[in-house]
Amino acid sequence: MQEKIATLSEAIELVGDGQVVALQNMATQAAPMALVRELIRQQKRDLALIVLVGGMAVDWLAAAGVIDRLIGAAVSMEQFGLCRQYRYAVEAGRIKVEELSESVLNARLGAGARNLPFLPTRGAIGTDLIARNPDNLKMLDDPFGGHPVLACRALVPDVALVHAHRADRYGNVQYEPTILWPDIGIMPMAAKRVIVTAEEIVDTEILRRNPDRTRLPGFIVDAVVEVPYGAHPTSFFPNYTYDSGFHREWAEAARDRATATAFIDRYVRTPSSQQEYVDAVGDVSELSTIQTAEHSG
Amino acid sequence: MQEKIATLSEAIELVGDGQVVALQNMATQAAPMALVRELIRQQKRDLALIVLVGGMAVDWLAAAGVIDRLIGAAVSMEQFGLCRQYRYAVEAGRIKVEELSESVLNARLGAGARNLPFLPTRGAIGTDLIARNPDNLKMLDDPFGGHPVLACRALVPDVALVHAHRADRYGNVQYEPTILWPDIGIMPMAAKRVIVTAEEIVDTEILRRNPDRTRLPGFIVDAVVEVPYGAHPTSFFPNYTYDSGFHREWAEAARDRATATAFIDRYVRTPSSQQEYVDAVGDVSELSTIQTAEHSG
Amino acid sequence: MTTDWQSSPVATDYAVDELMITTLAGLFKNGDQACNGMASFIPVSAFMLARLTHAPDLVWLASAAGLDPRPDRVPASTLEAPLWRDSVMYIEQYGDFWNLALNGRWIQKFCVGAAQLDRYGNANNSVIGDDYDRPQVRLPGTAGLADMGSIGKQLYFWNPNHSPRSLVEKVDFISAAGYLDGGDARERLGLEGGPEVVITNLAVMDFHPVSKQMRLQSVHPGVTVATVQKATGFELLMPEGSVPETAPPTEAQVRLIREVIDPDNMRKRGFRGG
Amino acid sequence: MTTDWQSSPVATDYAVDELMITTLAGLFKNGDQACNGMASFIPVSAFMLARLTHAPDLVWLASAAGLDPRPDRVPASTLEAPLWRDSVMYIEQYGDFWNLALNGRWIQKFCVGAAQLDRYGNANNSVIGDDYDRPQVRLPGTAGLADMGSIGKQLYFWNPNHSPRSLVEKVDFISAAGYLDGGDARERLGLEGGPEVVITNLAVMDFHPVSKQMRLQSVHPGVTVATVQKATGFELLMPEGSVPETAPPTEAQVRLIREVIDPDNMRKRGFRGG
């Protein structure tokens, strides 16, 4: 196996302006936020972002002018409200949205992973999503005479960004027992390149103890970076919960372009490392959750 | 949740003559052999059997005249040779074979599970499998202008038979960390009914300790039976390995119809319970494997 | 299961969120499978209540991901790990959840909120305004709702702010298929299921079996038919005979909601003053 | 990694199964991904040998299921748990394995045996005889081979019994697409990859780059071209110039095979007298 260890900076240098970037994220859960901050620090431009349910990451990338297209099923910080900077950018026409239902997004990514031109679903039939997206969604007759299906064209991200509990230096990626959303499965499987941050880099021997928990084989991973609290301020169970105070602070700052920019300057552009970011945030250790019996194997 | 506890006899009474039965099995691995024996004891007839890679179960069912159709990718006992009773029955025209590649079988079952009329693959294109199976396989143009795909028609088994490490009385089914073949995933998901045998029935509290190991939710399961050594003579790691002596004995008996019938009389028709079967086989405890560190969570 | 919930007297002290929860809970049958999405405090409370009362075998897929969990109370998020605590199964999403969901036999009922809902139960969570690419308001997006609307589910809408802005003549964008133009429009596309009930802070509505137009089913205690109609952006069909009053919660139900299920009052979020 | 394997002298004491293993192993590059199916003792031995010598980073998906395992030796089955002992990852089959396999970028090489192989590398593991429904011989079936033949893999065939019955003019049934009728027949169907090499107990063959007909590449030490041609059911193309001899194993390779990789001689199965 080949070594894939990189710094945040080296890893994000693999992302080119204008590329299609798939991002792990579910509202307030499990986004590779250290990679998101590095996208902003490196001033990437014109990225298209794929999310299942995007949260603060989308708002930051919108505020910083990194993305001009969003492909996804929803954007929301749930209890902390809509993503206002994203919303304003869409309403101003600066970000174009390709809205897909979950089963359609899954089908598009699944076709990308499998090198199929499309996969079908029966979801979203009858909605306006189809007419808005004729390049990628077409009704298709069943060759066996049944109901027509919605053919969803293959979507191949240029790069997928994910955060994991642990990885080895060869890029084998492991998660603790957790809900497996599509963003840690089909998104990286479909992507041309995969960049991983992990709470810790461990010896391969550790992974071999629980081969059922390894989700991505090293040979599809291009770079792996050790980043403790790499998902902060989103949650990363069982390690830590989402940072409510930080989410509220951002939700307030995001009401206005100037305060949003000041927030991003303070927490994203100024800290030059994950440690400086964590120091700027304050005490994150209180977010750590107690690993309960049902989470340990 | 509703209780699903049944006896082997009650469970197999859910299977009707002429039905399509999906069977967990990979050559010498993990077949629900107690259920297979009960199919023979109840003298089921004209069943179609779906297997990914069928082993001794197929041979027994062929020898006992239970099946007249096989839908699957391969039939072999690997190191113990071809399944001769099955082979002779096919060569005599008594069993009709619908041979599918693995990706085609997966696509057919996946479409069945998802209530889609078909799923596509790029596997098997160019082979004679397609011309032999025009009702279920058709080349289909990509509506987006790419390469054509092979559309694989939905396959919905009437019943799926699986064996698991543990289940609760509500039919929630759990496996130890192991290779997840499609026969414990998409086969039961696609089936109208699911019958489960488990090495042990446990309290639901036990399952809650490892929710990531639960593979089938109770609400799709119709019957669950506690059957220790329920996969014998196939392997069921980490609990026990395959029974080489028993496989060799059958492979020898299967050369001839009379010896095959005598074997089945002795081991299948005569024992009236799992305990009597195990007693007839002899000492199975030596098949138990030592649970190694990497198998325990 | 609390056994005294049925013999308990009708409550006099209850809030409209509690009425909505008991009304929704009453629609779940023992043995149904139900799932929630994010920001779904009313449905989550209703599942928990139903399981504690008349439907102990209601199968709950928390966040569509955790099977039959035991959260100690309604948590601050309905899309985070505390909700699926002690699950019997973690349902892998890309494969297993959609295998179950797309198969019409499972997960019969889906509860959801919609920014706009029209006369035929078409739902909009995408954009307000005519120009999709420069909308007046960019909403969160359809998430799984667009799927659930087309794959044989019964849709239960809840709306804490019944108003002509949320109940409109025609949605600006169909994020989820209701009855489309009404009548047999769904059948013609081969779509089963569809909108079943709309529970708001004022009333309960269903859909006429033939025309598929939204129809008043009951008004909440103290609310008049005229108030409901005035708060609705289109003319509601009326039931035959007089309009009944929505059945109020029992004291036991209110006590369960306040003391056991949701002591942190998460259910009040999204309500004016909540 | 054993470091002396390259400087080791050429072996004089070796069996043909060992020659086939070293020949196959030599075709794997460091960083390739490779997987085996059932009854695949020759490929499994070759993977293990390559990883111990020139290709330590060869990624092995044991039985297409266990990533980079550490079996202590070749076990009695190549489709059972002892083979994927100590894996880094258990690859779930329905989803993950086929995501990887159908994506042409991964798992470049697939090694397989075939009951019949024809002039254009079409393979048959299904039926012998003209009547599919009443065949002379019902073979095991295509398993994953029919897929691997159509999805951009390089196919490496191994055959312990080179004979006119296994190398035939035309297969009775195409279980896996080779070059079909030859020439650009694969390209016309949009199929990438295809048969690359055939290693038998007598010789090594490849395929002509334009006509796609099977071509002799080398004969094993002590085997004549005439012997190979006589054992083949169709006329083999000849390479330009004289036919070279297959490079024999080194002593170190033979020692690794016999003492470390396969002390139980599983590799001899399927060979006459094996």
Backbone dihedral region of B193: left (phi > 0), alpha (psi from -120 to 50 degrees) or beta?
beta
User: Which stretches of chain D sit within 8 Å of chain C by CB?
Assistant: 94-95
Taking an 8 Å cut-off on Cβ atoms, the answer to whether C80 and A129 are in contact is: no
Question: Contacts of residue C98 in chain A, CB cutoff 8 Å?
Answer: 102-103, 106
Note the pLDDT of residue A288. 87
Q: Is residue C263 part of a domain?
A: no
When pLDDT is averaged across residues D128-147 and rounded to a whole number, the result is: 97
| Residue A10 clears pLDDT 70, i.e. is over it | yes
| Residue C2 clears pLDDT 60, i.e. is over it | no
For A235, the closest of C81, C133, C190 (CB atoms) is C81
Taking an 8 Å cut-off on Cβ atoms, the answer to whether B101 and D66 are in contact is: no
Question: Contacts of residue B129 in chain D, CB cutoff 8 Å?
Answer: 142, 146, 175
Q: What is the pLDDT of residues B65-85, one digit of tens each?
A: 999 999 999 999 999 999 999
A150 touching chain B per CB within 8 A: no
* Substitution target from D77, D112, D132 for chain B, most B beta carbons within 10 A: D77
Question: Contacts of residue C130 in chain A, CB cutoff 8 Å?
Answer: none
Question: Contacts of residue A289 in chain C, CB cutoff 8 Å?
Answer: 81
Note the pLDDT of residue B152. 98
| Residue C5 clears pLDDT 80, i.e. is over it | no
Fold that domain A8-101+156-292 belongs to in CATH: Glutaconate Coenzyme A-transferase (3.40.1080)
Taking an 8 Å cut-off on Cβ atoms, the answer to whether B128 and D126 are in contact is: yes
Note the pLDDT of residue A292. 38
When pLDDT is averaged across residues A21-46 and rounded to a whole number, the result is: 98
Closest residue, chain B, to A146 (C-alpha):
B117
A295 touching chain B per CB within 8 A: no
Average pLDDT across chain C, whole number: 95
Q: C273: pLDDT confidence band, cut at 50, 70 and 90?
A: low
* Substitution target from D28, D103, D106, D191 for chain A, most A beta carbons within 10 A: D103
Question: In terms of DSSP bridges, do strands C66-67 and C89-90 run parallel, antiparallel, or are they unpaired?
Answer: antiparallel
B115 touching chain C per CB within 8 A: yes
Note the pLDDT of residue B291. 41
- Spans of all domains in chain A: 8-101+156-292, 119-153
The label of the residue with tokens 């499965």 reads: A185
Q: What is the pLDDT of residues C120-135, one digit of tens each?
A: 999 999 999 999 999 9
Q: Considering the entire predicted model, what is its pTM?
A: 0.97
Q: Is residue C131 part of a domain?
A: yes
Q: Is residue D263 part of a domain?
A: no
Question: Contacts of residue A208 in chain D, CB cutoff 8 Å?
Answer: 86-88
For B101, the closest of D132, D137, D142 (CB atoms) is D142
When pLDDT is averaged across residues A102-124 and rounded to a whole number, the result is: 98
Contacts of D29 (CB under 8 A, 6+ apart): D55, D58
Q: What is the pLDDT of residues B98-126, one digit of tens each?
A: 999 999 999 999 999 999 999 999 999 99
Taking CA atoms, B231 is separated from B266, D18, D45, in Å, by 18, 36, 29
Q: Is residue D110 part of a domain?
A: yes
Question: Contacts of residue B114 in chain C, CB cutoff 8 Å?
Answer: 98-99, 102-103
| Residue C274 clears pLDDT 90, i.e. is over it | no
Question: Contacts of residue D94 in chain C, CB cutoff 8 Å?
Answer: 95
CB atoms within 10 A of CB D105: 12
User: Which stretches of chain D sit within 8 Å of chain A by CB?
Assistant: 31, 33, 57, 59, 66-68, 86-91, 95-96, 98-100, 102-104, 106, 151-152
Output the six-digit token pair for D45.
């031995």
Q: B296: pLDDT confidence band, cut at 50, 70 and 90?
A: very low
Question: Contacts of residue D92 in chain B, CB cutoff 8 Å?
Answer: 179-180, 185
Q: Distance (Å, rounded) from C-alpha C26 to C-alpha D153?
A: 57
| Residue A296 clears pLDDT 70, i.e. is over it | no
Closest residue, chain D, to C92 (C-alpha):
D95
Residue C146: give its domain's CATH number: 3.40.1080.10
Question: Contacts of residue B254 in chain D, CB cutoff 8 Å?
Answer: none
Question: Contacts of residue A53 in chain C, CB cutoff 8 Å?
Answer: 38, 79, 143
Note the pLDDT of residue B1. 72
Question: Contacts of residue C94 in chain D, CB cutoff 8 Å?
Answer: 95
Output the six-digit token pair for D53.
């010598």
Domain count, chain D: 1
| Residue C4 clears pLDDT 90, i.e. is over it | no
Taking an 8 Å cut-off on Cβ atoms, the answer to whether A115 and D87 are in contact is: no
Note the pLDDT of residue C3. 55
| Residue A297 clears pLDDT 80, i.e. is over it | no
Output the six-digit token pair for B112.
């069945």
Note the pLDDT of residue D273. 63
Taking an 8 Å cut-off on Cβ atoms, the answer to whether D96 and A189 are in contact is: yes
Q: Is residue C176 part of a domain?
A: yes
Output the six-digit token pair for B126.
């160019």
Interface of A with C in 150-179 (CB under 8 A): 177-179
When pLDDT is averaged across residues A9-19 and rounded to a whole number, the result is: 98
Of the listed ranges A101-105, A118-122, B144-148, the one predicted with least confidence: B144-148
Output the CA torsion C89→C95→C97→C103 (10° steps).
Answer: -130
For A115, the closest of D33, D66, D104 (CB atoms) is D104
Taking an 8 Å cut-off on Cβ atoms, the answer to whether A78 and C177 are in contact is: no
Closest residue, chain D, to A185 (C-alpha):
D96
* Substitution target from A2, A109, A114 for chain D, most D beta carbons within 10 A: A114
| Residue D229 clears pLDDT 60, i.e. is over it | yes
For B180, the closest of D93, D189, D190 (CB atoms) is D93
Output the six-digit token pair for A230.
């790499």
Taking an 8 Å cut-off on Cβ atoms, the answer to whether B143 and A140 are in contact is: yes
Q: What is the pLDDT of residues B35-56, one digit of tens each?
A: 999 999 999 999 999 999 999 9
Q: In this structure, what DSSP letter does residue D214 have? A: E
When pLDDT is averaged across residues D26-48 and rounded to a whole number, the result is: 95
Of the listed ranges A188-192, A224-228, B262-266, D6-10, the one predicted with least confidence: D6-10
Residue range of the domain that includes C35: 4-258
Contacts of A83 (CB under 8 A, 6+ apart): A54, A55, A56, A58, A59, A62, A75, A76, A77, A254
When pLDDT is averaged across residues A48-67 and rounded to a whole number, the result is: 98
* Substitution target from A69, A76, A88, A128 for chain C, most C beta carbons within 10 A: A128
Question: Contacts of residue B220 in chain C, CB cutoff 8 Å?
Answer: 100, 106
Note the pLDDT of residue C42. 97
When pLDDT is averaged across residues D224-248 and rounded to a whole number, the result is: 97
Q: Is residue C266 part of a domain?
A: no
> How many Cβ pairs closer than 8 A exist between chain C and D?
3
Taking an 8 Å cut-off on Cβ atoms, the answer to whether A79 and C269 are in contact is: yes
Q: What is the pLDDT of residues A132-166, one digit of tens each?
A: 999 999 999 999 999 999 999 999 999 999 999 99
B104 touching chain D per CB within 8 A: yes
Note the pLDDT of residue D3. 55
Taking an 8 Å cut-off on Cβ atoms, the answer to whether B92 and D134 are in contact is: yes
Question: Contacts of residue D66 in chain A, CB cutoff 8 Å?
Answer: 211
Output the CA angle B12-B18-B20, nearest 5 degrees: 70
**How close is the nearest chain A Cα to the Cα of D28, in Å?**
14
B144 touching chain A per CB within 8 A: yes
Q: What is the pLDDT of residues A215-248, one digit of tens each?
A: 999 999 999 999 999 999 999 999 999 999 999 9
When pLDDT is averaged across residues C73-88 and rounded to a whole number, the result is: 96
Q: What is the pLDDT of residues C227-246, one digit of tens each?
A: 999 999 999 999 999 999 99
Closest CA to D37 of D90, D78, D95: D78
Show the 3-state SS of C62-119.
ECCCEECCCCCCCCCCCCCHHHHCCCCEECCHHHHHHHHHHCCCCCCEEEECCCEEEC
- List the alpha helices (DSSP H) in chain B: 8-12, 33-41, 56-63, 84-91, 102-113, 186-190, 204-208, 244-253, 257-264, 274-281
Note the pLDDT of residue B258. 98
B218 touching chain D per CB within 8 A: no
Question: Contacts of residue D96 in chain A, CB cutoff 8 Å?
Answer: 185, 189
| Residue C162 clears pLDDT 60, i.e. is over it | yes
Closest residue, chain C, to B193 (C-alpha):
C105
For B113, the closest of C90, C103, C151 (CB atoms) is C103
Q: What is the pLDDT of residues A182-210, one digit of tens each?
A: 889 999 999 999 999 999 999 999 999 99
Note the pLDDT of residue B195. 98
Contact A173, A221 (CB under 8 A): yes
Q: Distance (Å, rounded) from C-alpha C69 to C-alpha C88?
A: 7
Touching subunits for chain D (3+ Cβ pairs under 8 A): A, B, C
